[in-house]
Structure formats: structure tokens, C-alpha cells
Amino acid sequence: MSDNTNKPTSQQEMPSAAQTTVPAVSHEDIRNFIPSDGCLDGKTILVTGAGDGIGRIAALTYARYGATVLLLGRTSSKLEYVYDEIESFGGKQPAMLPMNLEGATYAEMQKLENLIAKEVGQLDGILHNAGMLGALTPLEMYDVDMFAQVMKVNFTSTFMLTQALLPLLKDAPNGSIVFTSSSVGTHPRAFWGAYALSKQAVEGMSDIFTQETQNTTNLRFNCINPGGTRTNMRAHAFPGENPMSLKTPEDIIGGYVFFMSDESIGVRGQVVELQPKD
């Protein structure tokens, strides 16, 4: 991926030069994507942080469009609630995968890969959505334990889980891996500490995975930056903000469906801002 893919210039509105086989889909098209009924039929998609916020809405939406959704999260009661919501509208039976990414080991993730292979038999996509904010404080004062915790949840576990699940994703006809970034990851900002650095690392990881796989596999790796969205995390980061001034996860979810649907086959190494600033 060329360097300019990460920068929100007008050039970025079209796929970068490195992706010569990328279909002509602009970031604006992705933001405005309207999924068609059944566009995720037959796909199995794992969503991390599926119990709340954007992850919950992504899981419900993937199920509405026909996917079997694997719900990974740390709070079982929240996963059960999402499970029941999917059942209530007649979605394909989901699976719950309780896992706290902070303490999860690589061996546990490999076990998960075995479990999915045995019980489900396929994996077409992962939405790496789980995340934590950590402290908003100068790096000089950043608690080093919290720094490690944020990096583990937002970045290292994302790498570990991707690597552990790659055998299944490579077996899929067109595996899609979606990471979640943030504006402070694309442009690191003072006082955003480990959160900003973890998101910058996620963008770098997506770029490297893209370079390493684009000539030899059908896998596609991309990053979504949802932009300011009405969730608990946003409320913690901006306590004085009126939440009603923000888009909801439902408002922006089309882009999340795009990257799991066959419409995004061949789209690689992109960082798509779903709510670009003027």
C-alpha cells in the first residue's frame, strides 16, 4: 500500500496505486453502501466486542443480511443478549465465544481456531472491533501497566487472533479481515496515549498483512475508522458532548457490511473513514 492511502487527501478517495486490481470503488461509495438482502448469505463472520456499541450493531446487521455470526466478547451476559436478539428476528443461529482479550493467550486462540473448524467448518471474515480507551493523559505520566493493557486489547490480541485464525480464513474463497482504527491512529494526537499508538499500530499491521498476502492469496485486509459515534466509549472520551449530535452505529454500519460482502473482493489495504471531516 502506498503511503498516501493513510492520509485523507482527495487522492485517497480512490484506491491507491499499489492495488492495481482493485475495482473502481471510492471511499465515498463505501460510506454510502446500501447492502442488498442476503448479501452475506453463506458467510461466517467473527465479531470481537460483539456485546456492545458498534460491535453489537455490526453483529446484528451481519446476521440480518444472512451471515452466521460468531460473537466474541468479555461479558457473557451481553453476548447472550445479542444472541437472543439474532434469534428473535430469525437470523442464523449465532455462537458465543466468551474471551477477555486482555488476558487471552495464543494457545486459547488456537483452541478457538480448532473449535470453529470443528463446529462451524468455515470462517469468511473477522471484524476486529473490541477496544478500550485507557487514559487520556500525557505520555510522560501514562501508567505503564495501563499502557500494556491498552496495547494488548487494541493491538497485540488483534495480531494474535488474526494469526491464529489465518488457516481458516485462507481456506475461505475470499477471506476478509477488518481492523478498527480511529482518527487519532491515523493522526496521533497529544494526550491520547496508548489508544492512539495502538490504533496507529493496527493501521500498520493491516498494511503489512496486505503487502504480505496480496500476491499470493485472496485475503483482503482493511481498516475502518468509524468516526465519532454514539457509544459508551465515545461518552467516556468526550463527557461534555451531546450524544444526540453524533451518528449512531446503525447510521454508519453500511461500510461494515461492504467489507464483509463480495462487493469488496479485491479491495485491499484501505483505511476508510466513515465520517470524514470537511
**Residue from 27, 220, 234, 268 in contact with ligand NAP (CB under 6 A):** 234
Per CB under 6 A, 105 contacts ligand NAP: no
Stretch that binds ligand NAP, among 9-17, 88-96, 226-234, 255-263 (CB under 6 A): 226-234
* Whether 165 contacts 93, CB under 8 Å: no
CB of 271 to ligand NAP, least distance (A): 12
- Binding flag, residue 52, ligand NAP (CB under 6 A): yes
> Catalytic: which of 62, 65, 83, 195?
195
Tell me the DSSP string of 145-161: HHHHHHHIIIIIHHHHH
Residues 6+ apart with CB under 8 A from 11: 4
3-state secondary structure of 144: helix
From the CB of 204, what's the least distance to ligand NAP, in Å? 16
* Sheet of strand 95-98, all strands in order from the earlier edge strand to the far edge: 95-98, 68-73, 44-48, 125-127, 176-180, 220-225, 271-273
| Residue of 26, 93, 114, 232 that binds ligand NAP (CB under 6 A) | 232
Mapped onto helix, strand or coil, the DSSP state of residue 230 is coil
Q: Which of 75, 93, 114, 217 binds ligand NAP (CB under 6 A)?
A: 75
> How many Cα atoms within 13 Å fall on the side-chain side of residue 89?
14
Q: Are 43 and 126 in contact (CB under 8 A)?
A: no
Report, in this order, helix, strand and coil percent for the chain, each rounded to 5: 45, 10, 40
Q: Is 195 in the active site?
A: yes
**Which residue from 46, 67, 70, 130 is in contact with ligand NAP, where contact means CB under 6 A?**
130
How many residues belong to the site for ligand NAP (CB under 6 A)?
27
CA–CA dist 36, 59 (Å, integer): 16
- 146 touches ligand NAP by CB under 6 A: no
**Is position 82 an interface residue for ligand NAP (rule: CB under 6 A)?**
no
Tell me the window of 10-18, 44-52, 88-96, 258-266 that interacts with ligand NAP (CB under 6 A): 44-52
Please state, in angstroms and rounded to a whole number, the distance separating the CA atoms of residues 223 and 227: 12
Q: Which stretch binds ligand NAP (CB under 6 A): 3-11, 16-24, 34-42, 74-82?
A: 74-82
Q: Which of residues 172-211 bind ligand NAP (CB under 6 A)?
A: 180, 182
226 touches ligand NAP by CB under 6 A: yes
Catalytic residue positions?
Answer: 195
Contact footprint for ligand NAP (CB under 6 A): 49, 51-55, 73-75, 78, 100-102, 129-132, 153, 180, 182, 226, 228-229, 231-234
